[in-house]
Structure 1
Amino acid sequence: MMIFAEFFAGVGLVREGLASDGWSCAWANDIAQDKRETYAANFGSGDFVLDDIWNIAKQPEQIPDNVFLYTASFPCTDLSVAGDRAGLAGEESGTLRALLHILAQKKQSHTQPGVVLLENVKGFLTSHKGKDIRNTVKTLNALGYTVDIIELDAVAFTPQSRPRVFVIAVDNTLAIQVMRIKDKRNILDTWWSHFHQSPQLRSAKLRDLIQTNPDLNWGLFDIPTPEKTLLRLHNIVEDIPEDSPLWWGSEKQQYLFNQMSTGHQAIIREKIHEPGDFYGTVYRRMRNGQSMAELRSDGIAGCLRTPRGGSSKQILVRAGQGNWKARLMTPREYARLQGVRDNFWMPENDNKGFFAMGDAVCVPVIQYLSRHVLKPTYEVWQHTQQTYNKQRTA
């Protein structure tokens, strides 16, 4: 059975993606009570431990030993460009160190997982001029893992721009069977030719990171580049009645319009006269000390965020057939942008719903990684174990 443990579980969107591909969650952990409530409503509370991961690190024996995969979508607060860039020295993103401590203890008891999957923002690659990602990979290497890094954007799967970095660490003995391993002794190794085959999965920035750290144990998964979805905003919007109070009044709507640049105002004026409905999204941002409303008009939503302030909430604009309207996106629309099924239980409080989805992973991205990386790796491991057991009993 494909068994995994979910660290920094949030509301369980990693589980949502893995479960659809046959994985079974044996244990999950998060520190947020609100997220636990949503998690429990959708998956039950039997596997969920509500606690600080540093406390978990003091008692790692509570994590089941028969776990093949650890997943960790650790906090991005200190790695994001929207944060203070404290990196792994920060209080929140630094909780990754607790997970690494748990892995070290599991290694001592010979119960470490075969694969570890870390997820975070692309700022993880540049935090502290690359030192944070280097130290993370170096620590994973010391724990007996070979590492690949893959960059995936949710926009390939849903109408949301959400670039993320996935660090995939595979036990060395298994890695040689499922990955292309970089040969440190051969400078003419063909490993690099395969690296260049998927620039969408591994950018020039990532290539430079690997090239400048040749002493680390790197491996590559030979996986396809995902085909981009044709879904757009009009595919995920809820049918909100025209007289709903969710739609903004004329004064508030005009204020938003006045915050836009002349170019974005021109787009609104143009779209008003179209026969069908145009949908765009707006974020408020500070530009040169002034609050600006920035319109995205390509049918793709900007990256969802947690609602720590009014500017972090994404605004939906609809224009066409002679008029235009604006409102905040709904939590259910947030969920759809994360690829979440409509019968996934959501909190009644909108802000809790925004937090649940804004601080989560895109489900189809996890499904993609499971289909092309995690599940095939498990199947190779399972076959190896079965062959070994047959030889022992022969």
Structure 2
Amino acid sequence: MPSYLEFFAGGGMVRAGLGGRWKCQFANDFDPLKVKVYADNWGEAEILEDDIHNVGPESLGRRADLAWASFPCQDLSTAGNGLGIGQAAGSNRTRSGTFWAFIDLMKRLKANGRLPRIVVLENVVGLLTINGGEEFKTVILSLDKLGMRAGAVVVDARHFVPQSRPRVFIIAIAKTSTLADELIRDRPHPIWHPATLVKAVDKLSPQCREQWIWFNLGAAPELKKTLNKIVKSKPVGVEWHTPAETKRLVSMMSDAHKQKLAEAKRSGKRMVGTLSLRMRPSHGKTVQRTEICFRGLAGCLRTPRGGGSRPRIIVVKGGSVRTRLLAASEAAALMGLKASYQLPNVYEYAFRVVGDGVAVPVVSFIRGKLLTPLLRSIKKSRGADASRPRRAARGRAEKSRRGQLELRV
């Protein structure tokens, strides 16, 4: 059974996606809340609550097949501060700069022959563009110095669940590994390798570009579940807004969004949409506006920082208009988590876990399409390489014996 190490593990959504056919050997997070949620769902055996800077190779066990690191995105996202991952030797590392602690740990594993066969780094797509692509370039160069060649895919959760959540997944393997032909493309795929990724790859050093892998994920799956299926009429943990509150929210809409609402009413169908509060310019000043969207998709879930940033939904059926907060259980469903997954009872805590996680079906998709066959290909190539010297040795021995017989004759 393949084994893995899970860093910045959060509530264990990568573990949920890798499933029971992969064995978690070690997991780590420094947030007590997330560690408790992880333990509540997966047990305490593998999870360690500690800063990654304090984690040493002695805690990680035997050589693992995979190391997965969803390192913090705060300094890489468009909503962040743009500080990036900082310098490897910097004394004041950013939160996203905990990437360097992970790389340092991988270096120590390599020094004693235990570098995992596959390394996966997951983060927001801002990693590709922030600071002109320099952060992405630094990440790939760091993997190159580990003796690994890399490729990347951008996967949006919207292919699997009704949530727009694009993320970049960098997958690295040893430069000496041989890959099966079906795992590689000779050119980028328009869905998995968008223009932002292609542009970022073009900025890599010549050596890293030469080693680059365009991984083949095949065709994109078709979304089967809409937001209408996720949002419940009788939610758990939240209440529908009062008619007065819903009226207030509607009154804050621009004419364009009031028109969207009127069209939803005229449809006669149950229309479920998202409702957001945004600060917009109006007549020379900035005012708060209510904006709605009926695309059938939720926006990217994140950790709410205040009342205005909490995810809200609007449900329209005929002349009925109802609004409320998105329930924690609905947010979990938007991440592809099972109904049995245990979240904190406190609303803000539940969203702190969910908003920082990785969509479970995306991990499952990458596991099935890439990680499992990739590991199989790596081990097969290593087995073939290991057998060649023995065959050559047998061939030399046979030739020597034939020569000795000829001399005797």
* Common fold: TM-score over 0.5: yes
Structure 1 residue 391, shift from structure 2 partner: 7.0
Q: Counterpart of 2:249?
A: 256
- Greater Cα shift, 207-216 or 8-17: 207-216
Shift of 1:389: 6.6
Deviation at 1:168, TM superposition (A): 0.6
Identity %: 32
Q: Which residue is 1:285 aligned to?
A: 278
Distance 1:149 1:24 in 2: 24
- What is the Cα-based RMSD across aligned positions, in Å? 2.2
| Distance change >3 Å, CA 245–CA 12, structure 1 → 2 | closer
**Number of residue pairs aligned between Structure 1 and Structure 2:** 378
Deviation at residue 383 of structure 1 after TM alignment: 2.9
2:362 and 2:42 mapped to 1: Cα distance?
20
The question of whether the paired residues in 1 share the 8 Å contact of 2:133 and 2:203 is answered with no
Partner of 1:219: 213
Secondary structure of 2:179's partner?
Answer: helix
The aligned counterpart of 2:191 is: 200
Comparing 121-130 with 249-258, greater Cα deviation is found at 249-258
| AA of the residue aligned to 1:68 | D
User: Is the 1:317–1:324 contact (alpha carbons within 8 Å) kept by the matching residues of 2?
Assistant: yes
Cα-to-partner distance string for 1:268-327 (whole Å, 9 max, x where unaligned): 123234333110011222233332222121111110010211222110100013210000
- CA apart distance, 1:157: 0.6
Three-state SS of the structure 2 residue aligned to 1:324 is strand
Partner of 1:247: 240
| Equivalent AA in structure 2 for residue 177 of structure 1 | L
Shift of 1:63: 1.3
What is the CA-CA distance between 1:208 and the residue it aligns to?
1.6
Cα offset, 1:259, TM superposition: 2.4
Query: Hey, what's the Cα distance between the residues in 1 that align with 2:217 and 2:37?
Result: 33
Q: TM-score, normalised by structure 2?
A: 0.87
Q: Mind listing any 5+ residue stretches in structure 1 that lack a counterpart?
A: 182-190
User: Is the aligned partner of 1:143 residue 2:149?
Assistant: no
Matched-pair contact (CA < 8 Å) for 1:5–1:71: yes
Preserved CA contact (<8 Å) 1:15 1:25: yes
Q: Which moved more, 1:378-387 or 1:160-169?
A: 378-387
* Match runs of 1:1-394 below 5 Å: 1-20=1-20, 22-56=21-55, 59-89=56-86, 91-174=94-177, 176-178=178-180, 194-196=186-188, 198-213=189-204, 214-216=206-208, 217-240=211-234, 246-288=239-281, 289-387=286-384
Q: From the CA coordinates, give the structure whose radius of gyration is larger.
A: 2
Deviation at 1:380, TM superposition (A): 1.8
Question: Given residue 224 of structure 1, which amino acid in structure 2 is its aligned partner?
Answer: G
Give the Cα separation in 2 of the matches to 1:284 and 1:64: 48
Q: 1:298, 1:206 → 2: CA distance?
A: 26
Deviations 1:213-266 (A, max 9, x none): 233131122221322213211111123179x97100122212221222211112
The structural deviation recorded for 1:377 is 1.1
SS in 2 for 1:177: coil
Tell me, yes or no, if the aligned pair for 2:238 and 2:327 is still in contact at 8 Å: no
SS at match of 2:71: coil
- Residues 191 and 220 in structure 2, CA contact (< 8 A), matched pair in contact too: no
- 1: CA distance between counterparts of 2:235 and 2:166? 33
